Amino acid sequence: MRYPNGKKFEGSLDQDKAKSNRQKIQFGHRGMRLENMLNQSNQWYLNRGLAVIHKKPTPIQVVKVDYPNRARAKITEAYYRQASTTDYNGIYKGWYVDFEAKQSNRMKSFPLNNIKAHQVKHMTACSQAGGLSFVIFWFSKRQEAYLYPIEALQEDWQAYQAKERSSIPFQRIEDYAYPIALKYQPYLDYLPLLDQYITDYGKCH
């Protein structure tokens, strides 16, 4: 792994162990959506008092409501609006956490058009305000998950806006991201990586 400034990571992450752990249990995760894995993991963290992180509800635009009587209103037509920020937020050890979850069936890259400008803007603002912002990528064909810091994504987004890059190469994700261990409980054990992220990027309250 490398930091956005190009410096090679020399920390204590045991990537070989994480990969071995993936191989042992990936069969149980095959076909499971990223959202389901994250929701299960967040509930596991919540039950043990480790963190309070929830999926943000998707805004709904109500189009038509029937009123059979004063006490009963029934929505008969509505549609989902585009989410205004990111998928998940919460608190971990006093840190505000805000992140987006993205799933792809590609093997060699992640398309940047699957990330919206308002999401990058929101995560950047959260990071600048002292929070922890990142993207969790799930590569379904590889059965691998990664925590990708906003600091790295900002560089990708600048290149995307300059039409220099249309996707994030998988090699770059391997270099800059933290591999997430896949387990039985929790499915995606990303919480310990936040401590490493805080240390590596010199985060402070």
Which residues are part of a known binding site for Mg(2+)?
Answer: 85, 87, 100, 119
Binding residues are 85, 87, 100, 119
* Closest by Cα among 183, 182, 173, 177 to 197: 177
Q: Do 53 and 136 meet the contact criterion of CB atoms below 8 Å apart?
A: no
Q: What contacts 137, CB < 8 A, 6 or more positions away?
A: 102, 103, 104, 110, 145, 146, 148, 173, 177
Rounded to 10 degrees, what is the CA torsion of 200, 166, 35, 44?
-10
Cα distances from 167 to residues 105, 109, 171, in angstroms, run 14, 6, 11
